Structure 1
């Protein structure tokens, strides 16, 4: 149990609204700047466990925004800047843009339950360092259709999503499933727990360099089953901060390391 609660995943979704069924009102904007840190891991989930020959650190500075083009349709943009490094003596870091994401989500029903569809596209904008194997994004385009449902109550909400990551360049595609429940404990504090799972369809046969495999960064056939916790503090109606962390029930080809994310957001 101790191991279970200390193994955290980079790939857990920590963005508070990216898989939410709620859309923005027309001309409303939401912006979040966040920083995620995973330091000095040298093991990957696997059967058996995979031991790396170097220690990897993977940090991400991320700008995420949503804009309502109507009361039912919202545009999504996400710009991740990756700060990756290893304890290798030569060319030990790769600091570059990750996979830039843009998308659109539309609410089809807003009665007791919100029913929303979303399509995200990740561009092949990552960078690869051939010396250390440090990669800042998938060497592929990704298309992610999602179906999302949710409902809000007086002091709590519940939401769930399902969908696929469809990748080009012979990467395997993924099936995605997750859910979240949040409760307003104080006038200014929300606490939310989530479950998040990704299962590789094992339908891609890309051959990646051994140097890349020895980092675990954006390699093929990654899977996980995870849980986590989010804390959201509201300074006022438009400005706030959040922190998120999580743990893994199981995984494949993903890092075993503590991770934590901090973010600041603003609504316009």
Structure 2
């Protein structure tokens, strides 16, 4: 079971609310505040699997939003704030003299902005989405802690979904196109869910990201020792999430696991959030 408990922390919280083809009504604002944690991991998926230096706890505090620009077009944004600890390194410095270090870094991750436009809505709903992820992460050369990719990422996707009364299905397919000589990715996924009571939704999902291995970015050796936001990260993830909703406000909770991965932690991620539509 240990080899089946993982998910890439960069994507998990976004899966709580994003990747759906439905757009907001004009003037409506949807906000989701969430917290995601992966605690005390030291082993990563690879070919073969490998152990990193130290034991890392990764926490993400995130604001995700959608605003109805028109009835068919929504503006999308995501602002992650990362708090990462490497708990078991005695002296993380690769350079001398060694400055005082707490083995912890708190900083913004990769902030993203985008647009989603509905293309079709007759039974099935189809939309196109373009997300631009900005190079707003930071890096500590002494600890090797990185809070985001040292790159801009552009993600075009095609989204499709359908409601069946008390159940729904939605899926997405697209690419991550990265700058700074990082490898690009292919991504595909879907989810199915339904109402289990008047106010509770239960949703299962699967999400696959595969690297094209077409980049050879030269990252610092200290960064490679931690495995944080390095090249050719990929995974096949599955998970479960629940939503408790009262009118426009609601609470989300979920976890994720995986059946394969590369350069991602072998540990379960848990996420909690609260949302509202204004």
> TM-score band, normalised by the shorter chain?
over 0.9
Q: Tell me how far 1:91 sits from its aligned partner.
A: 3.3
Pairs aligned (count):
266
Which residue of structure 1 lines up, in the alignment, with residue 38 of structure 2?
A: 38
Whether contact under 8 Å (1:9, 1:248) holds in the other structure is no
Which whole-Å CA distance do the structure 2 matches of 1:164 and 1:147 have between them? 10
Q: Tell me how far 1:253 sits from its aligned partner.
A: 0.5
Q: Tell me how far 1:75 sits from its aligned partner.
A: 0.2
Which residue of structure 2 lines up, in the alignment, with residue 186 of structure 1?
A: 197
Which whole-Å CA distance do the structure 2 matches of 1:4 and 1:52 have between them? 16
1:27-66 paired onto structure 2 within 5 Å: 27-66=27-66
Structure 1: any 5+ residue segments left out of the alignment? none
Deviations 1:1-21 (A, max 9, x none): x22443343244333332100
Q: Tell me how far 1:137 sits from its aligned partner.
A: 0.4
**1:213 counterpart SS class:** helix
Q: Tell me how far 1:246 sits from its aligned partner.
A: 1.1
Q: Tell me how far 1:217 sits from its aligned partner.
A: 1.0
Which whole-Å CA distance do the structure 2 matches of 1:71 and 1:106 have between them? 9
Q: Deviation above 4 Å: which 4+ runs of structure 1?
A: none
Which whole-Å CA distance do the structure 1 matches of 2:241 and 2:224 have between them? 31
Structure 2: any 5+ residue segments left out of the alignment? 91-100
TM-score by length of 2: 0.93
Instruction: Please tell me whether residue 84 in structure 1 is matched to residue 84 in structure 2.
Output: yes
**2:223 counterpart SS class:** helix
1:101-116 paired onto structure 2 within 5 Å: 101-116=112-127
Instruction: Please tell me whether residue 13 in structure 1 is matched to residue 24 in structure 2.
Output: no
Whether contact under 8 Å (1:91, 1:131) holds in the other structure is no
Which residue of structure 1 lines up, in the alignment, with residue 149 of structure 2?
A: 138
Whether contact under 8 Å (2:176, 2:186) holds in the other structure is yes
Q: Tell me how far 1:40 sits from its aligned partner.
A: 0.9
